[in-house]
Amino acid sequence: MYLPKTKNVKKVISINSVSSKPKYRQIIDSVVDAIDRKQLVKGDKIPSINQICADYSLSRDTVMMAFNELKARGVLVSQPGKGYYIASTDVQHDEKIFVLFDELNAFKEDLYNSLINTLKNRANIEIYFHHFNYKVFKNLLLESIGNYTSYIIMPATFDNTSHLISKLPKEKVYILDRLKSDLKNYPVVYQHFEEDFYEALVEGQNLLKKYRKLIFVNPGGKEPEQRSAGFKKFCEEYRYNYEIIKTIDGTRPGLYEAYFLISDRDLVELLKIAKSYKYKLGEKFGVVSFNDTMLKQVVAGGITTISTDFVEMGKTLAQMVIDHKGSKVRNPSKLIVRNSL
């Protein structure tokens, strides 16, 4: 195969030593700009790592980081013993992003769509699901190493995953949905399940006063246990009679009771029971569901929800990826009042 003569590094690489932009990012941008200006075309050999290090007084790790990202995006290819070549001039996508969710449901779809819409045509996104199966989670992570420019990971119920996630480049990893003590050094967009529940109950105090008992149906398992702490804290602080149960099976709901439900299956079953008892929602019998969806806006005259803003979560996460900046961001949550309370 014919390989053109190596370009002069100083004509295709531009490093501003006083810029706040990381040096590895400047290398990437220089190569992309050179491709856009037709200075580099498919098959061109680019300067070696050693040459760039020497010309710009950069560490080998800095240059390798840039080259690895360009390889992950399909822009560069390496030939053992020969160097690096332009593999593709298709640079319309700034990012190739690995997204690992726990499962797909209506509100996760809102999150995913928001992520895509915010990134627009700036990224190629590949989404996977582990379905709360640790073996699947582990295999998908290990298989993804080196193939993406950014990694968005939702560990969900899995604790102590740092030994796996640490195999990925730290500056490219973003954690989603839950704060994990062993992942405290990674950027994260999270829900504060305890405080979100507590604050929603405080906000709805005027609506809750008419109920004699508050019942939280928490099936456990994949659900965050912190919600129970927030519920208990509110009920004891404001002196409500309360109960935390795992299932509504065999439940005989009474008047002046308000139920808080995580599972949509439990929601449907409770609505059927309330209808058979001729309970009118929001008057002498209350129902609150977690995680807002379009369906809950209309079913049974409208279901009150406690929900994080999944659209905002997607926007925040996308902006982190675009800016290549990491922080810990608590995603906003709110009580959305409808007829059922």
242-297 residue pLDDT tens? 999 999 998 899 999 999 999 999 999 999 999 999 999 999 999 999 999 999 99
pLDDT tens per residue across span 57-109: 888 888 888 888 788 778 898 888 888 999 988 766 667 899 999 998 888 88
pLDDT at residue number 6: 47
Report residue 9's pLDDT band, with 50, 70 and 90 as the boundaries: very low
Of 285, 237, 288, 244, give the one whose Cα is nearest residue 267. Answer: 288
What sign does the dihedral 166-167-169-173 (CA atoms) show?
Answer: negative
Three-state secondary structure of 155-216: CCCCCCCHHHHCCCCHHHEEEEECCCHHHCCCCEEECCHHHHHHHHHHHCHHHHCCCCEEEE
Residues 39/31, Cβ–Cβ less than 8 Å? no
CATH 3.30.420.40 holds for 9-86: no
The whole-model pTM stands at 0.74
Topology match between the domains 9-86 and 95-192+310-332: no
Return the structure tokens found at 254: 């009474």
**What percent of the chain stands above pLDDT 70?**
95
CA of 160: how far to CAs of 37, 102, 157, 184, in Å? 47, 16, 10, 11
What pLDDT does 336 receive? 97
Q: In the prediction, which pLDDT does 279 show?
A: 94
- The Cβ of residue 300 has, within 10 Å, a number of other Cβ atoms equal to 17
Bigger pLDDT: 122 vs 147: 147
194-307 CATH pick, 3.30.70.360, 3.90.79.10, 3.40.50.2300, 3.50.50.100: 3.40.50.2300
Helix (H, G, I), strand (E, B) or coil at 39: coil
Architecture (CATH level 2) of domain 95-192+310-332: 3-Layer(aba) Sandwich (3.40)
Phi, psi of 92 (to 5 degrees): -70, -25
Beta bridge partner(s), residue 288: 260, 304
Domain boundaries, the chain: 9-86, 95-192+310-332, 194-307
pLDDT of residue 38: 86
Q: Under the phi-then-psi rule, with left for phi > 0, alpha for psi from -120 to 50, and beta for the rest, what region is 132? A: left
